[in-house]
Amino acid sequence: MTGLVFHETMSGPFTMGVTDPAEGARIGRRTGWRLSLHATVTIDDVDRFARDPQHAATLSGEIELPGVVRRIPFRNGSFRLFTPSRDPGMKLMTYGAEFEHEGTRHRLAGEKRVRDDVGLDLMPDTTTLYSRLYHDGDAVAGGGVLRIGLTGLALMAASMRVRQASSAREAGRAMTVFGLLFARNLRDSYLGRPRAWAEASRRRAVPPEVGWGG
């Protein structure tokens, strides 16, 4: 059972007391309030992860909240890669972390929205986490938008480590399984849909055949 682990840090403007991530980001940019997520993704079994439609793994790490000096640790969180959404044209990367602060249970929930829109949106989609902070169940305590930059992406890639591989060859195979899963989903999201749109447009532009003899 060969696993994989990597580290990812995202940070961005965040505001307590709002429910909409975009609004929280707008206010946070003005006030300088930010939230940072220092996450470790642990995949226990790469093959099972690839077969699982939810592509679920474990999330752990630390959170920096606006106005809180110390980092708050969490463990047993959730990570899902390219899961289906209610929009058939969009897949999600989801992050979930539960922690306690000042005697209150909190939950950070974020999603990256992978969808081919007009323009070059692959990088923004895969590096932008729309986030909400909940406390005491489903009460929304804040919202914002976190991002990982190019330097962060490079550090994340460099942090990838294979766990419990029986050989160097097995370690390489595990990295390949994960890499192909990621690449296939990006291909389906960003290369498949434009072709489908073009074909649909072509069909709409060509009228149904009718008899020329009148």
Report pTM: 0.85
pLDDT tens sequence for the chain (214 residues)? 999 999 999 999 999 999 999 999 999 999 999 999 999 999 999 999 999 999 999 999 999 999 898 999 999 999 999 998 888 888 999 999 999 988 899 999 999 999 866 555 678 889 999 999 999 878 999 999 999 999 999 999 999 999 999 999 999 999 999 999 999 988 887 776 554 444 444 444 444 333 323 3
Render pLDDT for 81-110 as a digit per residue (tens, 0 to 9): 999 888 888 899 999 999 998 889 999 999
> What's the chain look like in SS3?
CCEEEEEEEEEEEEEECCCCHHHHHHHHHHHCCEEEEEEEEEECCHHHHHHCCCCEEEEEEEEECCCCCCCEEEEEEEEEEEEECCCCCCEEEEEEEEEEECCEEEEEEEEEEECCCCCCCHHHHHHEEEEEEEECCCEEEEEEEEECCHHHHHHHHHHCEEECCCCHHHHHHHHHHHHHHHHHHHHHHHHHHHHHHHHHHHHHHCCCCCCCCC
